Structures are given as C-alpha cells and as structure tokens.
C-alpha cells in the first residue's frame, strides 16, 4: 500500500468531487442548513429545511419576520434557541452588513449562534475560504486513509486536517477538498460498510485492505453498478445540500438542479 502525500490526496479528492458534485453556493441557504445540522440529523432536518426556505427565502425576509413566525417555521427541529439565534443573526446582518453575510471566519464568528465549525463551514462552502473544516465525515475518511483501522484521537486527526488544507498550488480548491471529503464520507466511506472499491483513495488508504470485506458486501448487495449520485445519497449531507440546490433552481430557474 503506497502512502499518500498531500498533493496526491488533493488531486484524488478534487477530481472525484468535480466529477460528482453539484454547484451550490447560496450563502444564506448554506447558513440555514448548517444551523439545522448543528443538533439534528440530516434526514430529519431536510423537510423542515425546505419549509423554512419556502417561508423565508432570503436573509432579509428572515430579518423582517416576527420572532413567533420564525419559531413556528422551525417546528419539528427542536432546540428552538437555534431559531432564535438564527433570527437574531439575520437582523444583525441586515443592520450591520447591508444584508450580505460576511465572508471571513472572524466576522462570521462574531454573529449570534455561530461557533467555530459553522463559521468555517460557511466560509469554506459558501465563499471558498481556505480554512479547515472539522466534520465527522472528514474525520472518518482521513483517519482511515492516514492511520488505518486504529483511529487515533479526534484531536490528532483534526490537526492533520488543518495541515492538509490545500494551498494555491494544490490540484483541488479548499471548497472541493472539504466538500469532497464530506461527500465521500457520506456516500462511499460509510461508517459500517465502506465501499472501498469505489473510492478514489483506495490505493493510498491504510484501512482499505482491512475493510475490503465490507466493500465487497456492499457491492454484492447492489443490484446495479454503484453510481455516487444514486447510491446511498438520500439522507446524506450531500442529499440535503442537493435539496438546497433544487430550491435555488426553483427560485432562480437559470440555475441548474440535479436529481434529488
């Protein structure tokens, strides 16, 4: 098993992401999705997310709403404090930033309800900022690739994630790298049955040999050749973000909407 260098990892994940990804860059929709995903599973959040964006299609619409209406639109999500903070955030952005979400992690961190992960995710996914994103799927993929089946502590892997953030010479952008790893974790490198045979990292992954049985089982269960856009897509984070793309396409028909 050949070990991977950063350039090789960036190339593999970047190529895979560009071949499989949909474009989704609406900062407001990404912000709402990240708030909902803070404490709720994607499968449960998806219907509420669609309803929320139908009720408040823009950050300004959310800022103009009454608090009671925002909490009602949050129904089914629980942890209503997130809705209160999101509403407060919208009003702050409308008042202090002309209705445009700030782009930097530092400015995002100063907004109500925005912690380090949400700030990094919005800066990276909405604005392409070069910041590491510490996500569970990213942790699982990179811990398997770099350390095999005996995963070290989360802190050790998170440090490696930070070191591996692409630079300007890398063959993937920070957004492609982080989103690609998240999508790989959601659709290919599953926790229980990773599909190593379909993974762009299998030749450099230290866990691939040990997890091949799971990969074979997953393939045997599939009646058709696996395609990332159709496999275990539903309910994944990518499915959830894909829903966002479709909503955007409905509101702005000139934007493309993929399946899902």
Q: What is the nearest approach in angstroms of ligand SF4 to the Cβ of residue 137? A: 10
Asked about 34 being catalytic, the answer comes back as yes
Contacts made by residues 99-105, CB under 8 angstroms, sequence distance 24+: 99/59, 99/60, 99/63, 101/27, 101/28, 101/31, 101/59, 101/126, 103/127, 103/129, 104/129, 105/129, 105/131
Q: How far is CA 97 from the centre of its chain?
A: 25
194 binds ligand SF4 (CB under 6 A): yes
211 binds ligand SF4 (CB under 6 A): yes
Q: Which residue has the tokens 């509101």?
A: 251
Q: What is the nearest approach in angstroms of ligand SF4 to the Cβ of residue 175? A: 20
C-alpha distance across the termini of the chain, in Å: 36
DSSP state at residue 224: S
DSSP state at residue 259: -
Count other Cβ atoms within 10 Å, centred on residue 241: 25
Q: What is the nearest approach in angstroms of ligand SF4 to the Cβ of residue 84? A: 38
Restricted to residues 115-154, the positions that interact with ligand SF4 (CB under 6 A) are 141, 144-145
243 binds ligand SF4 (CB under 6 A): no
Which of 63, 73, 108, 189 is close enough to bind ligand SF4 by CB under 6 A? 189
Q: What is the nearest approach in angstroms of ligand SF4 to the Cβ of residue 245? A: 25
Which of 30, 93, 188, 218 is close enough to bind ligand SF4 by CB under 6 A? 188
* Comparison of 106 and 221: residue with beta carbon closer to ligand SF4: 221
207 binds ligand SF4 (CB under 6 A): yes
Instruction: Give the separation between CA 72 and CA 227, rounded to whole angstroms.
Output: 38
Residues identified as active-site: 34
| Interface contacts to ligand SF4, rule CB under 6 A | 141, 144-145, 188-189, 194-196, 199, 201-202, 205, 207-208, 211
């Amino acid at each position: 098993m050949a070990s991977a260098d950063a350039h090789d990892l960036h190339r593999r994940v970047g190529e895979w992401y560009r071949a499989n990804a949909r474009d989704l860059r609406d900062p407001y929709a990404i912000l709402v999705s990240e708030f909902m995903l803070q404490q709720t599973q994607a499968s449960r959040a998806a219907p509420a997310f669609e309803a929320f964006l139908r009720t408040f299609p823009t950050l300004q619409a959310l800022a103009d709403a009454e608090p009671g209406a925002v909490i009602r639109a949050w129904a089914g999500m629980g942890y209503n404090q997130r809705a209160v903070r999101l509403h407060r955030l919208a009003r702050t952005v409308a008042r202090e930033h002309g209705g445009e979400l700030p782009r930097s992690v530092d400015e995002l961190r100063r907004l109500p309800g925005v912690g380090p992960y949400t700030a990094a995710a919005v800066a990276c996914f909405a604005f392409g900022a070069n910041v590491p994103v510490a996500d569970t799927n990213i942790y699982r993929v990179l811990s398997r690739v770099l350390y095999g089946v005996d995963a070290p502590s989360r802190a050790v892997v998170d440090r490696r994630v930070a070191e591996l953030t692409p630079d300007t010479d890398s063959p993937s952008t920070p957004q492609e790298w982080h989103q690609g790893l998240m999508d790989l974790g959601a659709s290919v490198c599953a926790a229980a049955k990773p599909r190593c045979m379909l993974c762009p990292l299998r030749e450099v992954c230290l866990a691939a040999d040990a997890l091949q049985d799971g990969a074979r089982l997953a393939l045997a269960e599939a009646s058709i050749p696996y395609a990332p856009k159709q496999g275990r897509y539903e309910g994944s984070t990518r499915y959830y973000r894909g829903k966002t793309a479709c909503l955007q396409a409905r509101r702005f028909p000139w934007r493309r909407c993929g399946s899902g």
